[in-house]
Structure 1
Amino acid sequence: MLNMSEMSLHDSHGNRLYLNAEERAAFLDVARKQPARDRTLCETLHFTGCRPSELIEITPARIDLSGGTVALRSLKKRKDASGAQKIVYRTVPVPPDYLDTLNTAHGIREAQKSRKLAAAPIWPLSRVRIWQIVKRLMIEAGITDAPHRSPKGLRHGFGINATVNSIPLHMLQKWMGHAQLSTTAIYADAVGKEEQDIASRMWG
């Protein structure tokens, strides 16, 4: 089993495991042409960097429309000082346009008025079904058949996009639900805009 501290952005053959900026944009463009359920599902993965197993637990109660955040339950096992397992939630800021779409498609604000509806999953699907939806849209977006064409590739792409845009690692660690900062630090190794600008001077 892969140790989190050994997590990499490339496999043993050098293939990248993340979607680049162009692929992320193409995926989002295709997602926005889908029926409401698939569109919002894919936009949630794109804008929060969550895992499919975390996405299927999201309920209307965890959507803060006025605060502009989505609360996610980190499903990786954690233990407190006594050694007992603890439940960890994290909030991720998301774009207002995405929240407007989510509210319109799923009636989030209305659902929050009912305890029963507020606690019901927005996407009552299996992880396998989510994987199938994401893969279908990635194929439609023209993303190459390679290891990064997967929900995990989308999650890694979220991490890289954040570091390229100068999001502090400790903040990204919180958003991605990493227990250790060393895990988040792998995204700092990605080639960012600044590094490309400096390298371009050698080629100019």
Structure 2
Amino acid sequence: MSEMRLHDTTGRRLYLNAEERDSFLAAARRQTARDRTLCEVLHWTGCRPSEALEITPARVDLFGGTITIRSLKKRKDASGQQKVVFRSVPVPPEFLDTLDIAHAIREAQKSRKRAVTPIWDISRVRTWQIVTRVMEEAGIPDGPNRSPKGLRHGFGINATVNGVPLHMVQKWMGHAQLSTTAVYADAVGKEEQHIATRMWG
């Protein structure tokens, strides 16, 4: 049984809703190139901050429209050995253009060394500080949802609300079990109303 939750023990949301996601993205686009692209990769891929910090130019497919992310949750194969799992997540072409302009991805891919050097050379703590500052600037009220985790959960909710099949959301988010991803099907508030409206139509 999955322990992942979308609400804390007092019932407060642990995810950004659609309006908050839009506000976050708008605020991110007013930041420096480094902070903007970092916030946008978290927004568009739903990856964990530690996973974002591992992304290299070699993992950006400018033509295929995807970013490949290494799943950092420890997993073992049938023999008990730890296995490395990668997942490719589709992102909007406009974001790839922004990423390329800001970090010279195309040029970096031509260099053996730069191609495998992480795009964002900052710590997890600094990443958390950047994301929460941008959320504050976006006017997102203080609460458990105003965090990188809230952004990740918001990605899962958004994908589910917009009809992305759960097995695909599972792949994009790097969940080992579909039961973990299924938590997003328990979306509430406007998200659940949106799903219900589609059903009634």
Equivalent in the alignment of 1:202: none
Which ranges in structure 2 are unaligned for 5 or more consecutive residues? none
State the Cα deviation string for residues 167-190 of structure 1 (Å, max 9, x = none). Answer: 000000000000000000000111
What code does the residue aligned with 2:77 have?
D
User: How do 1:51-62 and structure 2 match up within 5 A?
Assistant: 51-62=48-59
**1:82 and 2:82 correspond:** no
What code does the residue aligned with 1:32 have?
R
Q: CA deviation at 1:194?
A: 2.8
What code does the residue aligned with 1:135 have?
T
What code does the residue aligned with 1:193 have?
H
Aligned residue among 157, 160, 165 for 1:163: 160
Question: Identity across aligned pairs (percent)?
Answer: 73
What code does the residue aligned with 1:195 have?
A
User: How do 1:1-204 and structure 2 match up within 5 A?
Assistant: 5-190=2-187, 191-195=192-196
- d(CA) in 1 for partners of 2:86 and 2:198? 38
- Say how many residue pairs are matched: 196
TM-score w.r.t. the length of structure 2 is 0.95
Coordinate RMSD, CA, aligned: 1.3
Conservation of the 8 A alpha-carbon contact between 1:163 and 1:192: no
- d(CA) in 1 for partners of 2:180 and 2:195? 22
State the Cα deviation string for residues 152-179 of structure 1 (Å, max 9, x = none). Answer: 0000000000000000000000000000
- d(CA) in 1 for partners of 2:197 and 2:149? 25
- d(CA) in 2 for partners of 1:102 and 1:198? 37
Conservation of the 8 A alpha-carbon contact between 1:17 and 1:148: yes
Conservation of the 8 A alpha-carbon contact between 1:40 and 1:102: yes
Q: SS at the partner of 2:140?
A: coil
Q: SS at the partner of 1:78?
A: coil
- d(CA) in 1 for partners of 2:33 and 2:193? 33
Conservation of the 8 A alpha-carbon contact between 1:18 and 1:154: yes
Runs of 4 or more off by more than 4 Å in structure 1? 196-199
State the Cα deviation string for residues 10-58 of structure 1 (Å, max 9, x = none). Answer: 0111010000000000000010011100000000000000000100000
Q: SS at the partner of 1:81?
A: coil
Q: SS at the partner of 1:84?
A: coil
